[in-house]
Amino acid sequence: MINEELILPIPKSTEFPKINGKFFSQDILSLDQFDPISIDLLFNITVHMGEIARNAKVSNYLAGNIATLLFYEPSTRTRGSFDAATKQLGGQTIVVENPQQFSSVAKGETFGDTIKTFEAYCDLIILRHPEVGAAQKAAKAAEFVPIINAGDGIGEHPTQALLDLYTIFEKKHTLSGKKGLIVGDIKNGRTIHSLLRGLSLFKNNTVYLLSPEQLKLQRPLLEDLSQKGLKIFEISQESEIPRDCDFWYWTRVQKERFQDQAEFERLKHSFIATPQLLQKYGNDEMILMHPLPRVGEISEEVDSDPRAVYLRNQIRNGMYIRMALLGLVLGKIPARL
């Protein structure tokens, strides 16, 4: 017979979610939670995670832990990355895709009740949702387990930004004093906005933004970033690309952001990264990045160029960053190894 009251897990912290070097039990909702010290700490762990994954080492950091992957919007790439990250560290996952089509959610259950249900089953929820702010909402509803935002609509996708920053860091050994070229739909590109915000956290960075006139960075964000110290130059032709960039960050013009499909067709291939372009405006030390998927804006001939890091390094780094975050947030990896 039971003579004790039910003991629930320890409720998580509800303080303002700046990380400040303390990841344990923390919701990871936005890149804005990160400061240079937290990023440095995360990146140090990430190096170690890469070693585990590359060598198929048996790791038990997350033994006994279960993460729920709650994806209201399927994303094989991001889901696969988080799923693998958890399992690389010996953890387990519960995968739930499109809950809105089924059962409880379809029957009219509130989002809060769904979150409260799944938090009972696991130690951490990784949420993908089409609506901006959904991750914040989930973090409020979850009483015990942390939420990691795996993309909320056109809002945030902090692990994507972190993997991009890590890829620059990995090749350039620092995130200060860098010069970069960013190309594509700079108006709507979520990954671009996050990367710019990330770069603005460090000193003395400069970016050149190359886009069609219609897809330039929106003024309020440009002004905000400039105030934070990021030097921004807008250019409109390839001939204006400076030769001494540390990185090029190419992106896809996203069909789904256009109401006028004719305009999309006109703009989608405004700029294409080719061996010739790299030859003409690149340098030997730079790297060429892309958040993927690509649909023609980087020529496949470039793939074998050692400076092309989008297929090999960025994808892998995404998994390593997620491994590091999971280990830190679940308190299973000490902040200093």
Catalytic residues: 77-78, 107, 128, 157
Where are the strands (E) in the chain, listed by range? 66-71, 92-97, 124-129, 147-152, 179-183, 206-210, 231-235, 247-250, 287-289
The secondary structure of residue 155, as a DSSP letter, is S
Question: Which x/- pattern, by CB under 8 A, does the window 230-269 give for a copy of itself?
Answer: ----------------------x--x--------------
Q: How far is the CB of 110 from a copy of itself (least distance, A)?
A: 8
Which one among 9, 130, 177, 275 touches a copy of itself, defined by CB under 8 A? Answer: 9
Segment lying near a copy of itself (by CB under 8 A), choices 27-35, 55-63, 214-222, 228-236: 55-63
Regarding 37 and contact with a copy of itself (CB under 8 A), the answer is no
Q: Which residues pair with 95 in a beta bridge?
A: 69
Rg (CA), the chain: 21
Q: Of residues 17, 49, 50, 184, which one binds a copy of itself by CB under 8 A?
A: 50
Q: Give whichever of 193 and 268 is closer to a copy of itself, judged by the CB atom.
A: 268
Options 122, 232, 321, 324; binder of a copy of itself; rule CB under 8 A: 122
HSE-up of 92 (CA within 13 Å, CB side)? 8
Tell me: does residue 174 bind a copy of itself (CB under 8 A): yes
Q: Out of 23, 34, 43, 258, name the contact with a copy of itself by CB under 8 A.
A: 43
Nearest CA to 199 out of 161, 233, 244 is that of 161
150-169 positions binding a copy of itself, by CB under 8 A: 169
Beta carbons of 308 and 275 less than 8 angstroms apart? no
77-106 residues near a copy of itself, rule: CB under 8 A: 77-78, 80-81, 83-84, 87-88, 92, 94-96, 99, 101-105
Contact at 8 Å (CB) between 9 and 136?
no
Spell out where 154-301 has E strands.
Answer: 179-183, 206-210, 231-235, 247-250, 287-289
Q: Applying CB under 8 A, does 319 fall inside the site for a copy of itself?
A: yes
* Comparison of 175 and 199: residue with beta carbon closer to a copy of itself: 175
Handedness of CA 72, 73, 76, 77 (dihedral sign): negative
